[in-house]
Each structure stands twice: as structure tokens, then as C-alpha cells.
Amino acid sequence: MNMQKATEFMTRREALRRGLLGTAGLALLDPLRLQAAPAPSRPRAKSVIQIWMWGGPSHIDIFDPKPDAGYDYCGPLNKPIATNVDGIRIGELLPLLAKQADKYSIIRSMTHGNNSHETASYIVQTGREPGRLVYPCVGAVVSLFKGYDQGYKGLVPPYIVLTQPQGRFSEAGFLGPRYKPFATGGDPNQNPFAVEGIVARGITDQRQRSRRELLGKLDSLGDSMPGNPHFEKFRQCEESAYDLMFGDARKLFDLSQEKDELRDQYGRNTFGQSCLMARRLVENGVPYVTINYKGWDTHKQHFETMRRKLPEMDAGMAMLLQDLADRGLLDSTIVWWSGEFGRGPKVQWNPPWNGGRSHYGKCFSAVVAGGGFKGGQVVGSSDAKGLEVADRPVHPTDLIGSMYSLLGIDPDGPMPNPRGMDLKVMPQDDESAGRLKEIT
């Protein structure tokens, strides 16, 4: 990448942003920006990569094996493997992650008790119970405190989702659309990675430019009211969009710039290449990346799905940790692996499930690595069959509050909101054992 050019480009973008902030259309949100004070403490983490296990991954087949619980619980997956940390064992389908265990910590006592996807997704990603207000999720909060309002000048938006948004869940909550993620669409395992809106297939730059020229000639309504503030904002968005289309953002999304061997190690599949893409994004300063990894809602054919998907997850996530560490990025990048809940430890062998697992919010696992989180640790534990939290319950509130602290966002500080209410960023949960001091 031509750095000098990139700098000029960013400066121009910044200028555009600043222009954008001043326009009347955003007046409603202005109080948010004023309230959002600069981060108080010196942050240890700069970025978060959230691996979102959409559907709820089974805890006892992955990071919390219970080989002694018997066939009704383990099914065929009853031979956990040792890791490179003494005393920590994980599921047998994760040989590569077993070699990286010194880099991450496993929380085996996650709990919120909710078994419905949408509500549990909300709880795990906002740290809040459902109520009158819809709170923003972690990505939107990070985008508020570390995004454009705080001088973020990256090539691409500060909150990126690879590749599809989660849906049924308003990421930005009451913060509003400005803090929503940019979902890339496309498939990073295809060449090119057709990032929706940024990398168009079949339209050359030349043709895109001649279209733009014609658009300039046929903008009769715009020409008839020069200086219209609504149109001025529209024009600025259009400039930014063209900057993204013709600028260096495309190079950022161009995975062919990576070595083939490395791409193979990540796994030539959508998840593996998403992990690689996530590394490229945080390397370029993007503060929040969500990999929305679907397919974990295994009511049926659970074990078949585990055998198919876990090796894919194992390769992508293990390589991501290794690669981040190799590049010195792991110290400043939090990797957060979690779904909305775990899965019922007791296998449902009866029809119609025929070997499936149900939703389970009472006890499940999450994994954190990097950005100030210690590696090689286990936090809390579940009972002998993975049914209940046995020790040190961790509510999503505790985990999220810990991440905010590492990011330099004061979890006890004020949470800006359009109605001017007295809210805190991520207050402590009364019933759990508090933030994760043992691994930060």
C-alpha cells in the first residue's frame, strides 16, 4: 500500500467527516458526541475480534468436555485432548487450538439462564436484561467510544461485520444507525471478496467513472436547489462512498495480497478467510470486527455437525491467535469467542431430534484472548455434567465490563444516550462474582 497516498486519502476523509458532523441532519445525535468523553485510562486493547457462534455452540463438546458424564451426555465425543497448558483439556476435535491454549482463557461458568435466541443474543452482547430501553451491543459501544466521534480515521468504518449482520437484533440500540456495523456481504473465500458496495463485480473503474460523470450531468433536482442542507449531507455521503470505492479500502479487502500458504493455514472456507480478514482489519486499526459464524443451532444431527464444523473453527481460530501473536498484535487485540448460550448437556436421542442438543443458557462457555486478557487460564467451572455453574458464575455483564476496561472505556462511566438519561456504560451485576480480575 502506498502509505503517502493513504495518508492524504485519510486526511481528506477526515475533512469530509468533520464537514459531515456539522450538518443539521445529525443535530439529534450531537449530544451523544459531546457527552462521549475521551477514554479515561490508558487502554491495553485497541481492537476486538468477536467470533459470534450464532445459534449457541455446545459447551461440553468444545471448551468444557465432560468425558465421565457418560454416553447420554458426551455421545461419541468422549475423548478430550490435552493442551499446551498443564491441566487444561478441550474437545477432541480441536487439536490446533490445543496448541494455542497458552494464549487464551476459557470461562466455563458463563450464565444468564435464557434459552431463546433473540433475547439471549441481546443479553450476551449488551450485558443487559431486556427492559424498556434497547441498549447498544459491545460493537456499537466501541464504535461510539473509539470510532469517528473520537477521531477514528481508518480506511473503512470502525465496526465491521463479516459477512452478514446477525439480524433480529438491533446492534446500535438507542445509539441509532450511526453506530451500526458495516456488514461486508460477499464471501472472503471467493476471489475477489466482493465486499458489498466496495468491490463490484463486472463493473470496471472506467465504467463506474463514466457513470459518475453522467450522474453529475443528470442531477437536475440537485442543480435546482444549490446549498440545500439535506442534499449537502447526501453529497458528502456520496463523496465518502466514492472514496471507499476508488480508494485503498479495496486493497484492504483484497485477500490475494496474503501468501497462499497462510491462507491455506487459516482454512479455505468462509470462516477461515474471515479470520484472516479480521486480522487485516485490526492491523489497519479497525476497533471492532464481528465474525458472524452461523450454523451452531444443532437441534438435529448435532454430532455430524460438530465433526464437520469444529475442524474448520479449530483451524481458523487457532491460526488467528498464532498470526496475531506472530505480528505482535495479540497484546492489543481482544479475541472474544461466544454464542448466545450453550447447548443442553443431555443429548436428545429421541425423535424428532435423533441426537441433538437443545438451547442452554444456564451454563455455557466463552473464550477470551489477547488485549490484556491472560492466556492459559480457566475461569469458573461447571458441575460434573455441565448442567450448572459449580464455581464463580460469570454473567455477560462481567465479561463485557472487563473488555471495556481493557479497551480504556470506563464501564462505570456515563453512557451517552439521546434522551439524556443517567445511564452507565456497563454497571456491575449484583448477583454474579464481578468482573474478570483473575485474568486481566
The residues that touch another protein, with contacts defined as CB under 8 A, are 25-26, 28, 116-119, 122, 130-132, 134, 157, 164-165, 167-170, 176-178, 180, 182-183, 185-186, 194, 196-198, 200-203, 207-208, 210-211, 214-215, 217-222, 224-225, 228, 230-231, 233-234, 237-238, 240-242, 244-245, 419
- What are the residues facing 281 on neighbouring strands? none
Question: Quick check: 45 and 372 in contact, CB under 8 A?
Answer: yes
- Whichever of 152 and 322 has its CB closer to another protein, that residue is 152
- Whichever of 249 and 315 has its CB closer to another protein, that residue is 249
Q: What is the DSSP letter of 370?
A: B
The CA distance from 102 to 316, in Å, is 17
Closest approach of Cβ 265 to another protein, in Å? Answer: 29
The CA distance from 393 to 387, in Å, is 13
- Whichever of 236 and 322 has its CB closer to another protein, that residue is 236
**Coil, strand, or helix at residue 310?**
helix
Closest approach of Cβ 193 to another protein, in Å? Answer: 12
At residue 35, what are phi and psi to the nearest 5 degrees?
A: -70, -30
Closest approach of Cβ 112 to another protein, in Å? Answer: 14
Radius of gyration of the chain (CA): 23
Q: Which cell goes with 221?
A: 433536482
Query: Other CB atoms closer than 10 Å to residue 218's CB: what's the count?
Result: 9
Q: Where are the beta strands (DSSP E) in 163-260?
A: 182-183
- Which DSSP helix (H) or strand (E) runs through 161? strand 159-162
Closest approach of Cβ 163 to another protein, in Å? Answer: 11
Closest approach of Cβ 122 to another protein, in Å? Answer: 6
Torsion angle, CA of 220/226/227/230, rounded to 10 degrees? -20
- Whichever of 65 and 127 has its CB closer to another protein, that residue is 127
- Whichever of 217 and 259 has its CB closer to another protein, that residue is 217
Closest approach of Cβ 331 to another protein, in Å? Answer: 31
- Whichever of 117 and 392 has its CB closer to another protein, that residue is 117
